[in-house]
Structure 1
Amino acid sequence: MGRLNKSKSKFLNISLCILSFIWIFPFTFVLVNGVKSGAEYNKGNFWDIPKGFSIANSLEFISERVSLSAGVGNSLLYGISSAILAIVLSALAAYSITKLKVKGRFFWFILIYSGTIFPFQMYLVPVYKMFAQFGLYDTQIGMIIFYTAISIPFCTFVLRNFFNDIGNEQSEAARIDGATDFQIFYRIYLPMAKAPISALFLFQFSFIWNDLLFGLTFSKSANIRPIMTVLSQLNGPNGATTNTPAVLLACALASIPTVLIYALLNKNLETGFVVGGK
């Protein structure tokens, strides 16, 4: 039995090492080629180690083509505000359909969760027409509203599962002491859901940050477009890249915020997915 456990542990460690290598390997060579000069990249091999750091020309190329700072600022605004709004609304919905005496609770849950059943591409035309009609197209408010709405179904699903696993003893004791439903939610259930909320925030922020399709569809101005849409404009005519090291460097720089947020929420990430996914 002990040998079997050791074998399983060894196999798991080897598998994790292989997966980590597969994950880190492409990103490493993005960094390696991102610091090359255009001439060194074109004349050399993709796998060659750079002879020195040459990012001045790449940064100049990026600044001439796009406003990277504007894209980063927009994506931070969309990612943080939309993720927070979606989690708050989803937590209220999950609490209502699990702990309050609401008629048709399962129906309301299915209605909310049905937003994940259909491919997201189905929303493009109707949402575009609605945004154009109400003046929300190419606006930051419109982008925040859309990203919030599209994130609510999954957040509600995770938080509903979490709240279902919590007993009613604490809430009943709080009601005896005169606490209202909202006070019970805010002071008891919300603090207990810190782990899944952290995991949801990272997941939804990453989804919004890496989105290209909706950013291209619902925005056109440089001061509105998110970072991935901005990065797509670094390509030359007909998709031909004019400065590959500059594009790789821009992609590496654009990945920094998600790495920082993961580092900040790392303690709660694994616990959040395990508890919230039961």
Structure 2
Amino acid sequence: MKRSIILRYSKLLTVSILAFLWIAPVYIVFINAAKTTTEFNSSKFWQLPSDWAIFQNIKAVLIETDLGQAFINSILYGVLGAGIAILVAALAAYALTNLKIKGGFYWFLLIYSGTLFPFQMYLIPLFQFYSDTKLYNTFVGMLIFYIAICIPFCLFVLRNFYSTFAKEIVEAAKLDGCSDLQIFVYMFLPQSVPPFLVLFLLQFTWVWNDLLFGITLSQSDAVRPIMASLSSLNGLYSGTGMNTLLMGALIASIPTLLLFFLLQKYFIKGMAINIK
């Protein structure tokens, strides 16, 4: 009896400590992002602000800096990049699992190998290619890259998912006169919603948090994604206060958190499907 009580309180203490370690940095960032520049420089970092400047700092981030445009850019990169990559990967996964393609497994390995190597290996050849083809510092160039980089993992997940479909049902549909496109649209796509949403959440989050390729393949504020623009706010000559930078970091974290909470039940369902 005593052992069970001690175990229960030990778990409660452990969870409380982990919760504090997670909440404390968020609390510190929030209260400092809500301070004026003068108060931020004169007060302790754990002290509550005497003059809350939340809306003032939000205005400074979205209007006085280029973070607002970068916010829109990353939304478009994430939605279009992840969405198109999932659609292309779904078509490829269906082809590899249900069509008689010569060397299909080797085609899969070739595409999936894009995720096996460190991304830093791609920087120099990709930069040179983009410079030669005039894709450097363009919206289309950034979008093409994000689509391409998201396809291998999406293909890996969807290929495993489609391989669980009964071959007899597919063959029966073909005997009834259905084309491969009809089978894909009417049989595979309706069953693919949970893994699609899981992949969209994961790939959108990756695109949103990308900094390495954002600062390598773009230069102007009209093209740069949000993480690259956020990093530029911390430059020596940026003139942006640390309180404004912290508010920008909070704003930058909203879409991924919101997307996770909206798709949480689908995320759990999709993960369960892929585990099976």
* TM-score relative to the length of structure 1: 0.88
- Whether the 8 Å CA contact 1:66–1:230 is kept in 2: the answer is no
- Whether the 8 Å CA contact 1:227–1:254 is kept in 2: the answer is yes
> 1:61, CA displacement in angstroms?
4.4
Q: What letter is aligned with 1:190? A: L
- Whether the 8 Å CA contact 1:36–1:54 is kept in 2: the answer is yes
- Mark the runs of 5 or more structure 1 residues left unpaired by the alignment: none
Task: State yes or no: 1:86 paired with 2:81.
Answer: no
Task: State yes or no: 1:256 paired with 2:254.
Answer: yes
Q: What letter is aligned with 1:132? A: S
The equivalences for 1:96-115 within 5 A come to 96-115=95-114
Residue 192 of structure 2 aligns with which residue?
193
> 1:213, CA displacement in angstroms?
1.0
Pair 1:77–1:63, CA change in 2 (3 A): closer
Task: State yes or no: 1:227 paired with 2:226.
Answer: yes
Task: State yes or no: 1:147 paired with 2:146.
Answer: yes
Task: State yes or no: 1:178 paired with 2:177.
Answer: yes
> 1:185, CA displacement in angstroms?
1.0
> 1:16, CA displacement in angstroms?
6.2
Q: What letter is aligned with 1:209? A: W
Residue 115 of structure 2 aligns with which residue?
116
Residue 202 of structure 1 aligns with which residue?
201
- Whether the 8 Å CA contact 2:127–2:216 is kept in 1: the answer is yes
Pair 1:154–1:16, CA change in 2 (3 A): farther
> 1:15, CA displacement in angstroms?
6.3
Residue 70 of structure 1 aligns with which residue?
69
- Whether the 8 Å CA contact 1:98–1:163 is kept in 2: the answer is yes
User: What is the distance in 2 between the residues matched to 1:212 and 1:107?
Assistant: 32
Residue 44 of structure 1 aligns with which residue?
43
Q: String of CA shifts for 1:173-222, please: whole Å, max 9, x gaps.
A: 22122111111111111111111110100100011011111110111111
SS in 2 for 1:237: coil
* TM-score relative to the length of structure 2: 0.89
Q: String of CA shifts for 1:225-252, please: whole Å, max 9, x gaps.
A: 111111112114179x851111111111
The number of residues matched between the two structures is 274
> 1:28, CA displacement in angstroms?
2.9
User: What is the distance in 2 between the residues matched to 1:8 and 1:96?
Assistant: 52
> 1:31, CA displacement in angstroms?
1.4
Pair 1:132–1:31, CA change in 2 (3 A): same
Task: State yes or no: 1:215 paired with 2:233.
Answer: no
User: What is the distance in 2 between the residues matched to 1:236 and 1:114?
Assistant: 36
User: What is the distance in 2 between the residues matched to 1:70 and 1:175?
Assistant: 49
- Mark the runs of 5 or more structure 2 residues left unpaired by the alignment: none
- Whether the 8 Å CA contact 1:34–1:248 is kept in 2: the answer is yes
User: What is the distance in 2 between the residues matched to 1:54 and 1:232?
Assistant: 22
When structure 1 is superposed on structure 2, of 188-197 and 170-179 the one drifting more is: 170-179
User: What is the distance in 2 between the residues matched to 1:185 and 1:231?
Assistant: 41
- Whether the 8 Å CA contact 1:140–1:224 is kept in 2: the answer is yes
Pair 1:41–1:198, CA change in 2 (3 A): same
User: What is the distance in 1 between the residues matched to 2:245 and 2:274?
Assistant: 37
Q: What letter is aligned with 1:66? A: T
- Of 233, 242, 245, 1:244 maps to 242
User: What is the distance in 2 between the residues matched to 1:173 and 1:8?
Assistant: 56
User: What is the distance in 1 between the residues matched to 2:179 and 2:208?
Assistant: 37
When structure 1 is superposed on structure 2, of 256-265 and 202-211 the one drifting more is: 256-265
Q: String of CA shifts for 1:133-154, please: whole Å, max 9, x gaps.
A: 1111111100010011111111
